[in-house]
Amino acid sequence: MLPAPELRFAGEDDFAVRIVTGSVTCTGSLVADDRVLTAHHCVSGRSAQGEIEEREVDPAAIHVELGGDVLPWGEVSVRAVVTPNCGHAGGDGDLAILVLTRKLHGIPLRGVELDQAPVKGDALVPIGFGRCADASDGIYRKRRAGSPVRKVLDGHLELDAAICPGDSGGPALSEATGKIVGVVSRSVMDSSEATLGATELARLDAFRPLFATAAQVSAGTSLAELPPVECRAVASANAQRAKSTASLAKSR
């Protein structure tokens, strides 16, 4: 008897998922079989007035929906939220990794770019589940129009992109490599999904320790046993890394 074929879902973008936390909806990316990358502000706590607070919501309150259409074909829960100690309301450090309660099989994963720094002019493609007010259809996963990167800063990138509410946390893919370079953090938006607005993407390579910490949590280490991902320490390490890279290039 032949073995059953591995279960695969047809869409190449099935790695992109929808994240629901109460009334807040965002986008995320399956970067390992039990880890989802998204934006920090998507999982930050809110006050009774809806203002973002410097804390994370209970992981049990987060639901990850699978599939790219209006109705998800599956859902998975979250057991841990790994974040830097900044970026609660967007900007530098606006990254979070959700460690899931179970591994997902048969769904495409997407690699992250942690070793190569982005440069001005890079062509990126944002993906999200957002919906602008003038949209004539429902909530679907979509590839968004965007311009090349126009500015690279320590913790984020700037470009123009057609972003809608709900795209936050969505991946920005390098057209050259297909890897995730950043996640959607903040954007100027109007009611049309055709409008390009100034957009910030949180840089992944600036927060390499975040991915190492999430891997340890995935392997069974309690988050309480691990040191926090300090934004100041990360900034210092990035500055030293940039200095070393520049020195190496000069010596060649």
* pLDDT tens per residue, range 49-108: 989 999 999 999 999 999 988 888 899 999 999 999 999 999 999 999 999 999 999 899
pTM of the model: 0.89
**CB-CB contact of 180 with 128 (8 Å):** no
First to last CA, the chain: 59
Fold of 124-205: Thrombin, subunit H (2.40.10)
Which pair of tokens denotes residue 13?
């973008």
Q: What angle do CA 168, 117, 174 make, to 5 degrees?
A: 55
Are the C-beta atoms of residues 180 and 110 closer than 8 Å to each other? Answer: yes
Query: Are 16-110+208-225 and 124-205 in the same CATH fold?
Result: yes
Cα dihedral 180, 186, 192, 195 sign = negative
Q: Are 27 and 127 in contact (CB under 8 A)?
A: yes
The DSSP string of 210-228 is HHHHHHHHHTT--GGGSPP
Residue with tokens 């040191």: 227
Q: Can you tell me the distance from the alpha carbon of 73 to that of 234, in angstroms, rounded to the nearest whole number?
A: 38
The fold of 16-110+208-225 is Thrombin, subunit H (2.40.10)
Angle at alpha carbon of residue 177, lines to 211 and 128, rounded to 5°: 70
DSSP per-residue codes, 127-176: EE----TT-SS----EEPPBPPP-EE-SSEEEEEE---TT-TT-EEEETT
Half-sphere exposure of 66 (CA within 13 A, CB side): 21
One digit per residue, the tens of pLDDT, for the chain of length 252 reads 444 444 444 578 999 999 999 999 999 999 999 999 999 999 999 998 989 999 999 999 999 999 988 888 899 999 999 999 999 999 999 999 999 999 999 899 999 999 999 999 999 999 999 999 998 888 999 999 999 999 999 999 999 999 999 999 999 999 999 999 999 999 999 999 999 999 999 999 999 999 999 999 999 999 999 999 998 756 555 555 555 444 434 444
Distance CA 141, CA 167 (A): 9
Q: Where are the domains of the chain?
A: 16-110+208-225, 124-205
